[in-house]
Structure 1
């Protein structure tokens, strides 16, 4: 099967040359481009999530043989969450080769965390189907790189850490409020304020509400922690 120069270049960035490029084509096809003659990447995403999870879990156990489950779990979550998968996808310019329908193209789909993360998991599954688990594992470890060994010892997300800080002092959970929204409708920036019952606040802006909330929580935690 003839492969475009764009997909050839992507395979080099990925670090895997497909024996059957149909796996890759399916992995980069968003549901908005599916048809009776073209499968989308949703089933591959489901499989890739499991391959990624096993790879990261094994890598964390190897990297820190003495770590307890309570320490490993937040590290694991930090490495497999949507934002990290999207970050890795951008690292290899996955968005450039994604096949999207017109509506997703117009709404900036190539830059959306959700679409990039789903496609990244689908690509991992495609490597697994093309060459087996060991190759898929090696591909994941190469792409995730130093993230596995440098993930924070306490990788709890900032919102959880801030809530625990408040609860330890007998305070109710922090409140998150959207105080501003700017930019185009298809790609807005959200400004979120995190507020504690004691009156302390912090704000942060990001492309996604969840990211803005996490950033605001991190800023507030830094502000109130000694």
Structure 2
């Protein structure tokens, strides 16, 4: 039975594959662990005998790396199918997020019509407060906090910064300014891609 793909090792697998020139395989293992990546890892082990988790720890021999290159070449069509499926799913998720933002903006348009100025301007107060808090915390962490005195708090600060930058501030920017030009171009490209199911990959695994 193939070894299960370890989620903790997933983030380390893609860079190792890319370093060896396995760009197509590397792209498959970028992102979150899902059914598709598990199916690909099972297919790799069935066809080559390689546990892809070992790539994260540099446990593969030169011969095994050669086998992976052969696998990528022989199954590139199936790997591309998975990539297209993953991109299509990401596009659908982005459409859901976009619909949520549009709904929030519509609600804000109605709120602006309210006679209560606080209700009408609440979103602007909130966005301003979060933005000031974020940059204030960054300034504090960068110039005032002494990490030598309390090194154990560094992880807490990293977590808070990650939340403020990756969630709060990012959501505010997307709400007011929308997605970046790069994301828009990506969405347009993905919209023209055919959606490929993972059933074909699963069928290959069972062979």
How high is the TM-score relative to the length of structure 2? Answer: 0.30
Q: Which of structures 1 and 2 has the bigger CA Rg?
A: 2
How high is the TM-score relative to the length of structure 1? Answer: 0.29
Task: Answer 1 or 2: which has greater strand percent.
Answer: 1
Which structure has more RCO (C-alpha within 8 Å, separation ≥ 6)?
A: 2
